[in-house]
Homo-oligomer: A and B are copies of this chain.
């Protein structure tokens, strides 16, 4: 079975950087936006629209035919299609080879694949600072606005996670390791994480 590492992360905690650096270090594939690109290709929808689903909420603005009832309400048929396709794509990726998948509910979608699930989090101050550092040039949000954005994105990630599973996003019992990046440079924790991951897969597979 392939060695699959899923990384779930709070917005602004540096989870994406953790994933990228680990993939480099372990010399395995890395997936994040790639999944969105594939989804766009397979569904004919725009990347932006698909991206918005997990970041801005998957909840319908209006009713139309072909809707699906979930415990959160009603999904539009194209939103359901995205969910189904995303699951297919993530499973295909997992069957292709060793890899790291950031976000996209991979930890629950791949529940049967014996994945190593890591959660990356931080305190609000560090997340705001990280967001400021990483902001695109044309984004000029105040700290208050950034905090609001961080809270909202994580709220939507949580909702998205609970839409596709019964497991609570961010609850440590659903992960093998939870790492707080406050006060740390991501690159400094990569050697320890690499060692941990290697040992984990020596045991498990």
Residues of A at the B interface (CB closer than 8 Å) are 119, 121, 123, 170, 172-173, 175-180, 182-185, 188-189, 191-193, 195-196, 199-200, 202-204
Contacts and interface: CB of A to CB of B under 8 A. Distances in A.
28 contacts: A121-B173, A123-B173, A170-B172, A172-B172, A172-B178, A172-B180, A173-B180, A176-B180, A177-B177, A177-B178, A177-B179, A177-B180, A178-B179, A183-B203, A183-B204, A184-B199, A185-B203, A188-B199, A188-B202, A188-B203, A189-B199, A191-B199, A192-B193, A192-B195, A192-B196, A192-B199, A193-B196, A195-B195
Contacts of A175: 178, 180
Given A172-B180, A184-B200, A192-B199, 5 more contacts: A119-B172, A173-B180, A183-B204, A184-B203, A191-B199
Contacts of A199: 184, 188-189, 191-192
A184 B204 CA distance: 9
Contacts of A200: 184
A182 B116 CA distance: 12
Contacts of A178: 172, 175, 177-179
Number of copies: 2
A195 B182 CA distance: 17
A193 B189 CA distance: 10
A189 to B, nearest CB: 6
A186 to B, nearest CB: 11
A180 B175 CA distance: 7
Contacts of A180: 172-173, 175-177
Nearest to A122: B173
A178 B119 CA distance: 10
A203 B173 CA distance: 28
A187 to B, nearest CB: 10
Nearest to A121: B172
A119 B173 CA distance: 12
Nearest to A202: B188
